[in-house]
């Protein structure tokens, strides 16, 4: 009888220590595998709230990615926001476990629209204004614009038309004149 009580106590103890909860956190993107289901691309504006600074930390996780996802999940759900603006992570390793600390700002989605509706908003904007904006944001886009369109975009940094990547002009080589020959006196 005493052996049965000891065996029962051991079984209860094993079950008590083995019933730990496990959590997984995911992002919002989901891939659509079926070709019959078509998704509509949506565009939203993000309104950052720089007065609402967010700081969270994850529990101990098995990988760095898992720790970062948990910290991001905690930040969004506890602060009731849609996205974290400019998140910065600090990850600590303790043995084989990782813990992530996240600091950022709250962001909220506003003005949702389809991609088609977003393109229609550009009707009153000239092609040149769009190209200037793109060039100022990323000068390497000049080559892409020239490959796609019939027009040539002038590199505003160099003042010349270019196709593909624009290169800085190379100075022509300087011709060296031979040193004057001095005549020796006899």
What was the pLDDT predicted at 36? 73
For residue 61, the 8-state DSSP code is B
Neighbours of 82 (CB within 10 A): 15
pTM above 0.85, yes or no: no
What was the pLDDT predicted at 68? 93
Which residues lie below 8 Å from residue 160, measured CB to CB, with a gap of 6+?
Answer: 154, 166, 169
CATH number of 91's domain = 3.30.110
Same domain? 96 vs 157: no
* Overall domain count for the chain: 2
Q: Which residue has the tokens 């505003």?
A: 156
Residue 149's domain comprises 125-168
C-alpha pair distances (Å), 4 with each of 1, 7, 11, 18, 83:
5, 5, 10, 21, 56
Residue 69 lies inside a defined structural domain of this protein: yes
What was the pLDDT predicted at 169? 45
Same domain? 134 vs 78: no
Residue 91 lies inside a defined structural domain of this protein: yes
Q: Which residue has the tokens 């720790």?
A: 67
What was the pLDDT predicted at 118? 79
What was the pLDDT predicted at 102? 95
What was the pLDDT predicted at 56? 95
Same domain? 94 vs 46: yes
For 44, phi then psi, to 5°, come to -135, 155
Same domain? 101 vs 65: yes
Please list the residues that pair with 104 across neighbouring strands. Answer: 54
Q: What is the pLDDT along the chain (186 residues), one digit of tens a residue?
A: 666 666 566 565 655 554 444 555 555 666 666 677 766 778 889 999 999 999 999 998 899 999 999 999 999 999 999 999 999 999 999 889 999 999 999 999 999 988 788 778 877 778 778 777 777 777 676 666 666 555 555 544 444 445 445 554 444 455 555 555 555 555
Same domain? 98 vs 132: no
Contact call for residues 68 and 82 (beta carbons, < 8 A): no
Same domain? 68 vs 106: yes
Residue 8 lies inside a defined structural domain of this protein: no
Q: Which of 67, 88, 113 is the last residue of a domain?
A: 113
């Amino acid at each position: 009888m005493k052996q049965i009580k000891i065996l029962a106590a051991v079984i209860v103890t094993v079950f008590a220590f083995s019933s730990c909860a496990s959590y997984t956190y995911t992002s919002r993107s989901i891939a659509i595998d079926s070709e019959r289901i078509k998704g509509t691309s949506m565009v939203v504006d993000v309104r950052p709230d720089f007065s609402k600074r967010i700081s969270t930390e994850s529990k101990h996780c098995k990988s760095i990615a898992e720790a970062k996802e948990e910290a991001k999940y905690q930040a969004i759900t506890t602060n009731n926001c849609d996205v974290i603006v400019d998140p910065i992570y600090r990850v600590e390793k303790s043995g084989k476990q990782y813990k992530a600390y996240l600091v950022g700002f709250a962001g909220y989605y506003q003005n949702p629209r389809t991609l088609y509706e977003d393109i229609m908003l550009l009707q009153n904007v000239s092609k040149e204004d769009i190209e200037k904006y793109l060039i100022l944001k990323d000068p390497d886009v000049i080559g892409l614009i020239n490959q796609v369109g019939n027009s040539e975009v002038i590199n505003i940094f160099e003042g010349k038309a270019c196709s593909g990547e624009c290169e800085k002009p190379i100075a022509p080589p300087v011709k060296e004149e031979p040193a004057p020959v001095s005549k020796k006196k006899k």
